[in-house]
Structure 1
């Protein structure tokens, strides 16, 4: 996918230009960074997922998160940014509950000390995310690109419900199913995947 590759290339360029050349400065300010294998640091994948907050909002308690998969030597680390806070700030994916409002300058509510990224997210948060990615609009272009890609993956729903004429991407989380006579229905992607999986299990 075009925009995915652009983001991967831009962030890896940022690592080469701003992280690796500043390894001594990083180590001097972040103790954990002494174990960071700078020369083997690379962003290897990005993908959209959903995050759930621990407090309910008046309008939602789940929203889209963009996950960054970093390779650090032999270790893989996942860091995330979230749409709810306009994709600002990057932090560990596996160990947080997210507030709907920033408190004390952080989006992390609970921090698991067992999570180890060797201080990478602390250093990255010294920069605005648009400086790291190159252009913030790339996220929204990649999101649209990813949504269109989901449509191809969901084509098997037509085997379950033959009256579906076509599928239209709506967002990462939802798509629109079209039926004859201009009838349409907005459905969660997760629900479609479950229906497809049940159909496949039943028709093995």
Structure 2
């Protein structure tokens, strides 16, 4: 039986669960990564990619160590998607990480309505590359690549932001089975590669 496409309400629910956890962080709450995964339930891969990406896109990404932790999480998610693990699992140390940062409150308030409006843009299209095994393989490769780059090289200016943006877009595309958005997310790796190449050339020169 063909898998039913998500309704706009289902897409919004997945986004809302992700953003609600982030909003709690922004307003000084203490929440663990494991609690976030529990909130997202069985459809956690896409929303969790969104959440990890936002943690480096928002000012929290400037906190020392956050890009590396996000990279580890992205790498773990990527490997699980590539091996068809039914639901996300993270090592205990990552699940127990507590996040709380009041100073991102205004930034989150700015992003919440914008991301919730994405439901008007996302829709099932080019679904062959955004659903089922193929969709998870593409998202898994992207998450794994972002993690492999971010863990050792997250200190390079703007690189974590660009990689985080790719995770956000691909995570949303996976939740909505939107192949066009999936391609857009993969395209974000082009400027990430450009930044990395420029940095390497500077070190060589």
- Please give the TM-score of this superposition, normalised by the length of structure 2: 0.27
Task: Determine which structure has the larger strand proportion and give its number.
Answer: 1
State which structure, 1 or 2, has the greater radius of gyration over its C-alpha atoms: 1
**TM-score (normalised: structure 1):** 0.27
Identify which of structures 1 and 2 has the higher relative contact order when contacts are C-alpha pairs closer than 8 Å and 6+ apart: 2
**The structure with more helix, counted as a fraction of residues:** 2
